[in-house]
Amino acid sequence: MTGLAGAAEGSVRVVRTSIEVVVALIGYTVGLGAVLCSLAIGPLVQILMPRMGVRLHR
């Protein structure tokens, strides 16, 4: 995830959300919880990574 964000010079938020949406689309059932998780995980990871000590190089 961070490697893709670095290679594409994009944000972790967009990369992680994209991964989750693709996984949800491939899955057997997509309910409301899966959709909310797919859309929320990217922004949450973007916010929490620096607080956990992970530095994002730009």
pLDDT tens digits along 32-44 = 777 787 788 888 8
Half-sphere exposure of 54 (CA within 13 A, CB side): 11
Any domain includes 58: no
For residue 10, give its domain range.
2-51
Q: How many structural domains compose the chain?
A: 1
Average pLDDT score, the chain? 75
Over residues 36-56, mean pLDDT: 79
pLDDT of amino acid 1? 65
Amino acid identity at 28: Y
Any domain includes 31: yes
pLDDT of amino acid 8? 67
49 vs 52: CA distance, rounded Å: 5
CB distance 30 to 52 below 8 Å: no
Any domain includes 57: no
**Model pTM greater than 0.85?**
no
Cα radius of gyration (the chain) = 12
Any domain includes 56: no
